[in-house]
Amino acid sequence: MLLNPSFESNEAWELLGGYAPGYSWSRAHSGLRSMRLGLLAPYPAPVYSSVRQEVEIPSGVRSARVYFYYFLVSWPEDGDYLYLVLDRVSDGTRLRSERWIQRFQTWHLMSFDLLEYAGERVKLQIGVFNDGHGVTGVFLDDVELWVVE
């Protein structure tokens, strides 16, 4: 249901943040490209870096779940984290906010149940917060929303 889930073209995703995300050829879970979020070199101030896409979660579905893969590059351990937010398009209400960090340098599969938002048009945003005291970069790939009717 999401467009351009593997970031193989320059469409559908809105690139946001004080430290701009970018398409990357250096690491991909599938295909040729991924999206680089966050920092791969030191930066002296706190900064956000994220991508966002609008999607409608159909009403009347039995299941709605977002899945994505990410590869973390991070050092040293600090206050950096990854996040997912979901905002309602019609009025901007924040419906969901999640944050986490797993510091192993491998592809991680992450998923979140979105069934409670069936019938809503939402902005799905995935990003990285860097606190200015280290480096945390993420390669994001294969972002998919699966629904079962």
Query: Any idea where the domains of the chain sit in the sequence?
Result: 14-148
pLDDT above 70 as % of the chain: 100
Rounded to an integer, the average pLDDT of 4-19 is: 96
- What pLDDT, on a 0 to 100 scale, did the predictor assign at position 40? 87
pLDDT level of residue 83 (50, 70, 90 thresholds): very high
| Mean pLDDT score, 127-143 | 95
d(CA 64, CA 120): 12
Count of H helices and E strands in the chain?
0, 10
Burial bucket for residue 67 (CB in 10 Å: 0-12, 13-18, 19+): middle
Mean pLDDT, residues 123-146 taken together: 96
Q: Is the pTM here over 0.75, yes or no?
A: yes
- The superfamily (CATH) of domain 14-148 is Galactose-binding domain-like (2.60.120.260)
What is the SS3 assignment for 81?
A: strand
**77, 84, 134 from 118: Cα distances, Å:** 37, 17, 38
pLDDT in tens, 53-69: 999 999 999 999 999 99
pLDDT at 33 over 90: yes
Phi, psi at 115, each rounded to 5°: -55, -35
DSSP class of 116: G
Q: Report d(CA 100, CA 81) in Å as an integer.
A: 6
pLDDT band (50, 70, 90) for residue 36? very high
Query: What is the DSSP code (8-state) at residue 13?
Result: P
Residue with tokens 């690139």: 15
Backbone φ, ψ for residue 127 (5° rounding): -160, -175
CA–CA separation, 5 vs 2, rounded Å? 6
